[in-house]
Structure 1
Amino acid sequence: MNKTKKYTLIFVVVCFLLIGGVGIYHAYFASPSQSAKQVTDNTENQVQQEMTDSKQKEEVSQEKKEEQENQTSQQEKKEEQVNQVSQQEKKQSSKQKPESQSTQQKQTTTSNQETSTSHQTQVEDVPEKEEEVYIEEEIASVYVTITGVDGVMAQDYIEYEEGISAYDALKILADNYEMPVSTSGIGQAIYVKGINGLMEFDYGGMSGWKYKVNGTYPQTSAGACTLKDGDQVEWVYSTNG
């Protein structure tokens, strides 16, 4: 080969090497710096966008606050106006009430006077009634008592009936007090043996029941002794005959 061809080949090879080295250099060293710049640029753009967004949001929130404040102020004004109107109405009604009350009182007083005068005239027109005197009719009765060993066992007034006997009066009083009466004999010959379980001979051979009319002992049996209105009959248990 000629020397010129050798030098040209060497030169071409060297040029390729240089071109390859430059490409490798740009690929591995120059590109990171550019990517870093792009990243920083992107972050700055994002930050700026966020700042603008926040500013816009603040402006919107301030506008909303202002609107709310305006609305509240308007509502307060309306409420004040309503309160004023209600107070005025109350004052007017309070002024009117005493007048109406006074008129009502006047009307009531006049009506009361009219009723009182009409009542007086009616009372004057009505003639006085004669006082009615009620006389209680005395009921015919007989007073009967039953006295045992320990004291009075029963006593009360018995309605008088024509032909009532001393035994009849005793039986009515004993029935009212639910006291049993044991007897012997019948009719006018009846004999009282016991009253409410207190029997003859319970306190000795001479003990038994006797009766008095107006303080005296009759000589007839209790069935044959007729009573009069107002008589007092006393049945007594005697221990010595």
Structure 2
Amino acid sequence: MRKDLLLLAFIALLVAVLISGTKIQSVDEYYLTHIDDIREDSETVTISIRADTILQNWDKLSPELRSEKYVPKDGVILKETEYVLRPGDTVFDILHRTVRHNRIHMEFQGADENAFGSVYIKGIHHLYEFSCGPLSGWMYAVNGTFPDYGVSKYVLEDGDVIEFHYTCDLGRDVGHEFKRNMNENEVKVK
């Protein structure tokens, strides 16, 4: 009898919560809905994700990706958006929160899985390295400069502007030039 009363009380409480319109969220859902609660004292960064270079290289794009579903008409996957900067945030931290918040597909390789010791962005919005030719893939710039190290090594500061660009020509089509170091066989940023 006592168990039945407790069960009945629990069911009544549950019905009252549902009727009152209370939204029950998982921790992940709560985090994603409050990710961009910017206050006056918040430090912030801005991020955008663009693939407009593909529009000039449409013939090189893998046929299965030739759709507005993957490449928007203007090439903008994510317009410039402001996010709260937390202490120690890297470019990867902001990108990861951004794509989760906006439900944009992303695939990456962990820092411990490659020789560079940094996270490697394999694909964003179903666009991968080599999806638009042999020199294509994702690059990032902070405040207009293309860093010479990985996304999980670049620690951000208040006011930084992050841009992710899909390149079809090893960065030349997005304003980046590589310079070969004569003493080593590796690519260095100019």
Give the TM interval when normalised to the shorter protein: 0.5 to 0.7
- Flag structure 2 segments of 5+ consecutive residues without an equivalent: 1-38, 53-73, 171-190
The reply to whether residue 226 of structure 1 matches residue 155 of structure 2 is: yes
Q: Residue 151 of structure 1: CA displacement?
A: 1.7
Matched, 1:148 2:51: yes
Amino acid at match of 1:176: H
Query: Are positions 1:139 and 2:63 aligned together?
Result: no
Q: Is 1:179 the equivalent of 2:124?
A: no
1:198 matched residue in structure 2:
127
- After superposition, give the CA deviation of every residue in 1:185-216 in whole Å (9 maximum; x if it has no partner): 32651100100111110111100000000000
In structure 1, the residue matched to 2:68 is: none
**Cα deviations across residues 84-128 of structure 1 (Å, max 9, x unaligned)?**
xxxxxxxxxxxxxxxxxxxxxxxxxxxxxxxxxxxxxxxxxxxxx
Q: Displacement, 1:184?
A: 1.4
Amino acid of the structure 1 residue aligned with 2:83: I
Task: Specify which structure has the higher proportion of strand.
Answer: 2
Looking at structure 2, the residues matched to 190 and 137 of structure 1 have their Cα atoms a distance apart, in angstroms, of: 32
AA partner of residue 160 (structure 1): L
Determine if the alignment matches structure 1 residue 163 to structure 2 residue 97: no
- Distance in 1, matches of 2:75 and 2:100, equals 19
Equivalence map 1:31-42=2 (5 Å): none
In terms of Rg, which structure is larger?
1
Q: What pairs up with 1:24-173 in 2 under 5 angstroms? A: 137-149=40-52, 150-154=74-78, 155-173=80-98
Which of 197, 208, 223 does residue 137 from structure 2 map onto?
Answer: 208
Structure with greater contact order relative to length (CA < 8 Å, sep ≥ 6) = 2
Q: CA deviation at 1:138?
A: 3.5
Task: Tell me the SS of whatever aligns to 1:175.
Answer: helix
Query: For residues 83 and 131 of structure 2, what CA distance do their matches in structure 1 show?
Result: 29
Question: 2:88 is paired with a residue of what secondary structure?
Answer: coil
Q: Distance in 2 between matches of 1:142 and 1:217?
A: 16
SS in 2 for 1:223: coil
1:19-67 deviation per Cα after TM superposition (whole angstroms, max 9, x unaligned): xxxxxxxxxxxxxxxxxxxxxxxxxxxxxxxxxxxxxxxxxxxxxxxxx
1:15 is matched with which residue?
none
Runs of 4+ in 1 over 2 A off after TM superposition: 185-188
Question: What is the deviation of 1:173?
Answer: 1.1
SS in 1 for 2:123: strand
Q: Which residue of 1 aligns with 2:168?
A: 239
- Structure holding more helix per residue: 1
Corresponding residue of 2:19: none
Q: Which amino acid aligns with 1:151?
A: G
Q: Structure 1, unaligned stretches of length 5 or more?
A: 1-135
- What amino acid sits opposite 1:152 in the alignment? V
